[in-house]
């Protein structure tokens, strides 16, 4: 039996009461207390969490022109099913009526929810749209952050809004800007010289229909690579060849060994050596594609898997790509890199004015022999509130007001930050840090407020008639009973 998902959610919101009023004092010349960069699942969940914390003047911006083009779920994400378990706590942040399960059961019934193994991607996108609309979260689409300019105790944000340059100010920034938010898509060196007309990254909007009848090469063997291969085959590619550098497909989800609450809840408190070793272990084990992602591609007889075959070179010849891989020369019409992302704030234009002051893991920790890893070393070393830290104390104190909630936090916090597994722990944690920082920054004003006059709930006249009143019982011997 289906129901209206709004009804249960609105009743739950009624029962927890209205959100607190904004307690953050206004400051002259400040447009926003917090700007959330990214209007996807993370930005919207943060907007809700900050509202419940009584923090007003929060703005959510997104460079995408509209909701349909924002985030990954209707764009770069190509899996049929989400990779995470369906029962993980997500944007509902502890309010069950706002959960995916509550929404899905209201729309399709309890039996339908029990029948799905993992969440269909398009259903997740529909749920997030419902969540945003139900909570009245406004996202300013078509608003791109070009540069962050620190100015005293706040930031000047250089934005492009609807094609026009403008400047707005804020006190806090949350970078909830997705997988490439502290770096960008990674291309293997062999693909770097190929023209854009013949290559793409899985992060790109790929015209798969144009690949019909073509021979396509996919470089990489993680989930996004298999997803791209599956879509290309479904679109009618003549053949798809997937090239993996390992001699087998990674099949051990090594991070599950630390998925228990003790490790999850306290990961940031682990010594640097332990966190680094965990990150290296994950890198060495490899990112595992899902069973259904592999089966989707393997089901096609024109899908070809090449193990121990990293691309070592590639060039254009006669309108085709000619590459060397696995000791053989191969030819294809188009190549897709499913090789993930790099994380390095020094490469981001919006951080360019001060990125050199951001502490990276390589600045903080020197790994023992055998655990060196350049890729992990360029991840930012984040504080407990996901804030940037200074490489040299005193050179850039404003960094503590920029909070990172994207995959750049992986080495520091141990899970894919920004994905569903990070939400339960990290969104409340970052929200609490933002609240604390804003409160302490205006402590003088709050201290005055906390010792200010408070109107009485009632006057003396309420109890005056009872003062000294003698009861009806007689008082014997001059003593009260």
pLDDT attached to residue 481 = 47
Q: Please give the average per-residue pLDDT across 188-215, as a whole number.
A: 96
Domains 5-178+418-444 and 187-250+286-339 share a fold: yes
Write down the pLDDT at residue 472: 56
Residues in the chain: 481
- Would you state the pLDDT for residue 471? 64
pLDDT tens digits, one per residue of 115-135? 999 999 999 999 999 999 999
pLDDT at 5: 87
Return the pLDDT at 478.
53
Residue range 61-65: mean pLDDT, rounded? 96
What pTM does this model have? 0.93
Contact (Cβ atoms closer than 8 angstroms) between residue 319 and residue 197: no
| Average pLDDT over every residue of 200-217 | 97
Domain regions of the chain by residue span: 5-178+418-444, 187-250+286-339
The domain 187-250+286-339 is placed in CATH, from the list 3.40.1390.10, 3.40.220.10, 3.50.50.60, 1.20.58.710, at: 3.50.50.60
Residue recorded with tokens 């259904």: 292
Confidence at 455, pLDDT banded by 50, 70, 90: very high
Give me the CATH code for the 5-178+418-444 domain, please: 3.50.50.60
Provide the β-strand partners of residue 185: 341
């Amino acid at each position: 039996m289906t129901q209206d998902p709004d009804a249960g959610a609105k009743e739950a919101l009624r029962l927890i009461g209205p959100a607190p009023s904004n307690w953050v004092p206004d400051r002259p010349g400040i447009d926003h207390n917090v700007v959330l960069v990214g209007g996807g699942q993370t930005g919207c969940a943060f907007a809700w969490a900050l509202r419940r914390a009584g923090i007003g003047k929060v703005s959510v911006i997104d460079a995408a022109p509209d909701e349909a083009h924002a985030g990954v779920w209707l764009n770069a994400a190509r899996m049929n099913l989400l990779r995470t378990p369906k029962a993980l706590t997500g944007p509902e942040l502890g309010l069950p009526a706002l959960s995916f399960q509550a929404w899905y059961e209201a729309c399709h019934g309890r039996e339908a929810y029990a029948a799905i193994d993992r969440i269909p991607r398009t259903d997740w996108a529909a749920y997030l749209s419902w969540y945003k609309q139900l909570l009245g979260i406004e996202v300013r689409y078509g608003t791109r952050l070009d540069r962050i300019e620190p100015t005293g105790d706040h930031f000047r944000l250089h934005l492009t809004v609807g094609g026009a340059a403008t400047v707005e100010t804020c006190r806090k920034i949350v970078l909830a800007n997705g997988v490439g938010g502290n770096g960008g898509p990674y291309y293997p060196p062999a693909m770097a010289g190929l023209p854009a007309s013949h290559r793409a990254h899985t992060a790109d909007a790929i015209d798969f229909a144009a690949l019909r009848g073509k021979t396509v090469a996919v470089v990489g063997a993680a989930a996004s690579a298999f997803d791209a291969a599956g879509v290309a085959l479904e679109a009618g590619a003549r053949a798809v060849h997937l090239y993996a550098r390992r001699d087998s497909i990674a099949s051990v989800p090594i991070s599950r060994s630390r998925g228990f609450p003790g490790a999850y809840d306290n990961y940031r408190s682990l010594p640097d050596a332990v966190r680094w070793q965990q990150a290296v272990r994950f890198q060495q084990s490899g990112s595992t594609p899902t069973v259904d992602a592999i089966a989707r591609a393997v089901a096609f007889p024109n899908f070809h898997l090449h193990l121990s075959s990293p691309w070592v070179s590639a060039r254009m010849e006669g309108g085709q790509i000619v590459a060397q891989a696995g000791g053989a020369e191969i030819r294809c019409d188009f190549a897709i890199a499913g090789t993930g992302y790099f994380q390095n704030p020094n490469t981001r234009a919006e951080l360019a004015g001060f990125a050199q002051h951001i502490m990276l893991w390589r600045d903080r920790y020197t790994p023992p022999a055998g655990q060196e890893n350049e890729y992990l070393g360029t991840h930012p070393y984040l504080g407990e509130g996901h804030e940037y830290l200074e490489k040299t104390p005193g050179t850039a104190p404003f960094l503590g007001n920029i909070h990172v909630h994207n995959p750049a936090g992986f080495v520091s916090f141990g899970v894919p930050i920004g994905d569903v597994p990070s939400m339960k722990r990290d969104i409340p944690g970052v929200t609490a840090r933002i609240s604390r920082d804003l409160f302490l920054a205006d402590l003088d004003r709050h201290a005055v407020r906390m010792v200010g006059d408070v109107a009485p709930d009632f006057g003396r006249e309420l109890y005056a008639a009872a003062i000294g009143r003698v009861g009806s019982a007689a008082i014997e011997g001059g003593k009260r009973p």
